[in-house]
Amino acid sequence: MGVYMEKSGVSPAQARIMGLLLICDELELTFEEIYETLQISKSAASSALNTLLTSERIEYITRPGERKRYFRNRIGQWEDDFDKRFQHLLKVSQLMKEILEVRTKSTKDFNSKLQKAINFMEFLQGELPELHKKWKKLNK
């Protein structure tokens, strides 16, 4: 899992932490448990955890009476994450439209490829909400 995630653009330490939090029988792990299990340095673990927290790929909780943070996967919030990514897609599509409007007309091939990307994003904008509604209906 870590190797796959690494290929999707995250650092090796981030990928390994995300993989660990997916496969580990314990749903929440401390900082020490993470770096010791993965045999990575404290600084690599700290940097990776901070990046994963900032990008909202993981989260942490605290327990009453303890100072430790317990890190866990955000799989329970996948629908919220999906909605955020969809909103991001809408923004990117709009920005690309604005870019196309001001681009030079002399780069016809590039402009055509950009227009195709915009068309695809607009297609997804129409289809994804319907697919999500359909999925929700099937999984009640």
Write down the pLDDT at residue 29.
97
Q: Match 């605290």 to its residue by tokens.
A: 62
**pTM > 0.85: yes or no:** no
Q: Are 8 and 17 in contact (CB under 8 A)?
A: no
Q: Give the number of other Cβ atoms within 10 Å of residue 27's Cβ.
A: 13
- Domain termination site, one of 73, 92, 114: 73
H or E, element range at 27: none
d(CA 7, CA 4): 5
Q: What is the pLDDT of residues 27-61, one digit of tens each?
A: 999 999 999 999 999 999 999 999 999 988 899 99
Closest CA to 67 of 30, 37, 34, 28: 30
> Are 33 and 89 in a shared domain?
no
- Domain termination site, one of 73, 90, 107: 73
Q: What is the mean pLDDT of residues 116-129?
A: 91
- Domain termination site, one of 58, 73, 88: 73
> Are 64 and 13 in a shared domain?
yes
> Are 52 and 86 in a shared domain?
no
CATH number at residue 49: 1.10.10.10
Confidence grade of residue 86 (pLDDT, cut at 50, 70, 90): confident
> Are 52 and 38 in a shared domain?
yes
> Are 12 and 59 in a shared domain?
yes
Q: What type of residue is 118?
A: I
Phi, psi of 101 (to 5 degrees): -65, -30
Q: Which domain, by its residues, includes 30?
A: 2-73
Number of domains in the chain: 2
> Are 25 and 62 in a shared domain?
yes
Does the pLDDT at position 79 exceed 80?
no
